[in-house]
Structure 1
Amino acid sequence: MQLSCSTLRQFFFLRPPRLPSSSPPLFLTPRRRLPSVVRAMASVGSDDRRLSRIASTIRVIHDFPKPGIKFQDITTLLLDPEAFRHTIDMFVERYKDKKISVVAGVEARGFIFGPPISLAIGAKFVPLRKPKKLPGEVIAEEYSLEYGTGIMEMHVGAVHPGERALVIDDLVATGGTLAAAIRLLERVGAEVVECACVIELPELKGRERLNGKPVFVLIEAD
């Protein structure tokens, strides 16, 4: 049976999650509750209960992937269907009327949030990947991040001049990956409307590397 895009959007984004009403998920019970390492951003309304739910599911892993790094782990957010749904919904609400035609997801966690957002707003999803992961002809940009350096690639022909693009990732830290993503898209003539992340580490001043490009985040790390 084939389903239309509108039917899929209704299924994923309008259907309420089926969660137990008597008790929260096991990993959110008081005895095993994850530490809240983020706070709601006032820019999206800190009184929004959805933000509190999202923030409560994110944990920090110290000294990962190397000593001195505090890794913001969103995999625990994915264990809570309601929090995950809230996350996607809040991005969709922001971008559904902005005429976005490209959602570019940064490997790897941008691949988690990007596809459902692109489906809901009627845009195509373009993966931005590490070297030798994309078959065929690619263009590349080097970048630096909090714990190393790397190269990001995008398929030639995936994005066309004049398209309006959204860059999505789970986190903005030093801004290196987002800056590389912006450069890739602008090299082919796309207009990067905004970057969107679940979490921001403001002390690392990643926004300063983006040449004034707007960044929308839901929550920020303490």
Structure 2
Amino acid sequence: MDYHQKEELLRVSIREFSDFPSPGILFRDITCVLKDPVVFRAAIDLFENHLRTNYSEIDVIAGIDSRGFLFGPALAQRFGIGFVMIRKKGKLPGPTESVSYTLEYGEAELEIQKDAVHPGQKVVIIDDLLATGGTLSAACELIKRRQAEVLDCLVLIELRSLCGADKLKPYRTHSVLKYD
């Protein structure tokens, strides 16, 4: 299966639910991607292809709580590198670094264990969705505070109308599927 066939396989596997979780929202559901091993493999293949094409060295994949945890370990395994978690505040043991950020409906905090990444490491951050960019921006800030380098922010789905990629500049972003 070539790149475009894999992309189309993913696109037809994403279900849409109107008015979820609240009125006016069109929710893009990745459940079918996760439950079908062929479709899930296609997603990991496309992430891997992007990274191998653009980077000669990656030290670690960092996944954002919680859906980044679904794609990140499989991708890290393909590269023979480690996976680290960026979690909601209060979910990680030991010394952590945290950052607050604004959501459409309030504030939230993300954190990473202080020894998860080291100064100078090259990090790829992964999540399922890029909407307004708040969560990914906070994750980039955490990596930067640990004096590591954010190579790229990978997402399965980008909602372009919300301009999240603009908020992430100067960090690079790559989305497998884009929706207006």
Q: TM-score, normalised by structure 1?
A: 0.75
Aligned to 2:172: 214
**Residue identity in the other structure for 2:160:** P
Matched with 1:191 is: 149
Picking from 85, 96, 99, the partner of 2:57 is: 99
Structure 2 runs not aligned, ≥5 long: none
- How many Å separate the matches in 2 of 1:144 and 1:65? 19
Residues in 2 aligned to 1:94 and 1:204: alpha-carbon distance in whole angstroms:
23
Q: Which residue of 1 aligns with 2:123?
A: 165
Q: Deviations over 1:24-61 (max 9, x none)?
A: xxxxxxxxxxxxxxxxxxxxx9x711100010000122
Secondary structure of 2:88 counterpart: coil
Check if 1:81 corresponds to 2:37: yes
3-state DSSP of counterpart to 1:184: helix
**For the Cα contact (< 8 Å) 1:173–1:205, is it kept in 2?**
yes
Residue of structure 2 equivalent to 1:28: none
Partner of 2:98: 140
Structure with greater strand percent: 2
**Identity, % of aligned pairs?**
42
4+ residue runs over 6 A deviation? none
Larger deviation, residues 99-108 vs 64-73: 64-73
Give 1:57's aligned residue.
13
State which drifts further: 133-142 or 88-97.
88-97
Q: Which has the larger radius of gyration?
A: 1
The whole-number CA distance in structure 1 between the counterparts of 2:177 and 2:149 is 25
Q: 1:145 offset after TM fit, Å?
A: 3.5
Task: Give the unaligned 5+ runs of structure 1.
Answer: 1-44
**Aligned partners of 2:171, 2:75: CA distance in 1, in Å?**
20
Residue of structure 2 aligned with 1:153, choices 111, 120, 123 = 111
Quote the residue 1:176 is aligned against: 134
Aligned residues: 178
1:51/1:103 CA distance change after superposition, 3 Å: same
* Equivalent in 26, 48, 69 of residue 70 of structure 1: 26
What pairs up with 1:28-47 in 2 under 5 angstroms? Answer: none
Q: Give the counterpart letter for 1:163 in structure 2.
A: Q
Query: Which residue identity is paired with 1:60?
Result: E
Q: C-alpha displacement at 1:213, in angstroms? A: 1.1
Q: Distance in 1 between matches of 2:173 and 2:88?
A: 22
- Rounded to whole Å, the distance in 2 between the matches of 1:156 and 1:76 is 35
CA distance, structure 1, for counterparts of residue 177 and residue 108 of structure 2: 26
String of CA shifts for 1:123-155, please: whole Å, max 9, x gaps: 210100011111111111112335543111100
Segment drifting more, 61-70 vs 204-213 = 61-70
**Cα distance, 1:66–1:149 mapped onto 2, change above 3 Å:** farther
Flag the 1:60–1:146 CA change in 2: closer, same or farther, 3 A: farther
Give the SS at the match of 1:129.
strand
C-alpha RMSD of the superposition: 1.8
Provide the rounded CA distance (Å) in 1 between the counterparts of 2:26 and 2:99.
Answer: 26
Query: TM-score w.r.t. structure 2 length?
Result: 0.92
